[in-house]
Amino acid sequence: MRSIARIGTIAIGTCGLALLFAIGAGGTGRSQTAGTDSASTTTWDRIASVLQHPRCMNCHQLETPLQGDARRIHIPPVRRGPDNMGVSTMRCHNCHNDSGNNAMSGVPGAPHWQLAPTSMLWEGLSTTELCRMLKNPELNGHRSPQALIEHMETEKLVLWGWNPGGHREPIPISHQEFIDLMKVWVSGGTVCPQ
């Protein structure tokens, strides 16, 4: 049973996860839990690859956002400010609008454009640290695991990552696949890698 679960884990994909759960269902409680933990951890690795993509990381910064796939310094230079939306005359909404990407200027836009709260600083975190932070309600905006799924599924600023406009590459897996991975991770107990 364990060798089958290991083979299933190596070749895991969205369909492979369903197969792994089906295989685990016929075993003992111990094997089933191990299989679920393994599937949840493997799923987390795919989720982390999205969360650590430049589309997300550029705004999950401490004081200043970064730009582009190369994650260069934001031009013009801006600072976080007390409400995460810039300071003085250098406010996020001066350039980034709620109605979407500006095709003429190339400036991206989405509702609620701002730096992520400082509790959601992801820069420099390992995937394990990111996992623990994301599932901690004190650090994730007071969201339950189900609320995290809803946030990732419906928040317009999150959705922008899959439609970044200009010459920016979208996040490499589809939004629906990402949401499916989040659901598997949550149903598996939001297991973090060791």
Look at the chain and count its residues.
Answer: 194
- pLDDT (tens digit, 0 to 9) for every residue of the chain, 194 residues total? 333 333 333 333 333 333 333 323 333 333 345 555 667 678 999 999 999 999 999 999 999 999 999 999 999 999 999 999 999 889 999 999 999 999 988 899 999 999 999 999 999 999 999 999 999 999 999 999 999 999 999 999 999 999 999 888 899 899 999 999 999 999 999 999 98
pTM metric for this prediction? 0.78
The pLDDT value recorded for residue 166 is 86
Q: Which residue has the tokens 């939001």?
A: 190
Phi then psi dihedrals of residue 87, to 5 deg: -130, 155
* HSE toward the beta carbon, residue 127, CA cutoff 13 A: 17
Give residue limits of the domains in the chain.
2-187
**CB contact at 8 A, 62 and 74:** no
Q: Which of 45, 53, 37, 34 is nearest to 190 (CA)?
A: 37
